[in-house]
Amino acid sequence: MAGSPLVVIAGPPGSGKGTQCARLGEQLGFSHVSTGDALRDEIERGTRMGRHVRAWVNSGRLVPDRVAVEVVLDRLDTQPEAPAALLDGFPRTVAQGEALEHLRPGAVELAIALVVPRATLVRRLALRNRDDDHSRALGCRLAAFEQETRPMLAWFAARGLLVEVDGDQPDAASAALVARLMAGICAASEA
């Protein structure tokens, strides 16, 4: 699905990006590409890329932009046809946003930022048990969000593509809100 519209789902670790994407994918028939899942899959399968990125992912640092772009385009190109694709956790830096715009000009229809108070993030993450959920990696991931991803959100805002959504609402309410936003965007793009 090389030419399909893209919807970016962004937010700090624990903001519910994966949960929202799964729900929205089901509701709207959009495909869902998660760079974090793709990277963990490479690590688990012990591929060359997996061995290359393991230390970055497990310590909570962002993998190099070039690798993130490669993995997301690879996954996008092998998705079945769908009206749009949800990009979960990509782009995460301005450089990734620029690379995406260069490779898929005008493809991003909307970037949705899930806004969740820090105390909620920490509480949610304490309930998970991923290799990068230990406290040092967690601090690193929250810092990466502030330092690298916030400027990327500003980059989308400057292009009129950013919408912020309260990710601390019960799942159904915020998913419905996001779904309405996205349904409107898609209807407009079909007209």
The footprint of ligand AMP (CB under 6 A) covers 13, 35-36, 39, 56-57, 60-63, 68, 89-92, 96, 132, 141
Question: Nearer Cβ to ligand AMP, position 70 or 164?
Answer: 70
Question: Nearer Cβ to ligand AMP, position 23 or 92?
Answer: 92
Closest contact distance (angstroms) between CB of 92 and ligand AMP is 4
Q: Is the dihedral of CA 122, 124, 125, 129 positive or negative?
A: positive
Closest contact distance (angstroms) between CB of 28 and ligand AMP is 21
Question: Nearer Cβ to ligand AMP, position 132 or 175?
Answer: 132
**Closest residue to ligand AMP using C-beta atoms:** 36
Residue pointed to by tokens 């899942």: 37
Between 135-144 and 118-126, two packed helices, what is the crossing angle to 10 degrees?
A: 140
Q: Which of 157, 177, 10 is nearest to 89 (CA)?
A: 10
Beta pairing class for 162-166 and 108-115:
parallel
Closest contact distance (angstroms) between CB of 149 and ligand AMP is 9
Closest contact distance (angstroms) between CB of 40 and ligand AMP is 7
Question: Nearer Cβ to ligand AMP, position 149 or 174?
Answer: 149
Closest contact distance (angstroms) between CB of 114 and ligand AMP is 12
Closest contact distance (angstroms) between CB of 56 and ligand AMP is 5
Question: Nearer Cβ to ligand AMP, position 13 or 25?
Answer: 13
Question: Nearer Cβ to ligand AMP, position 141 or 186?
Answer: 141
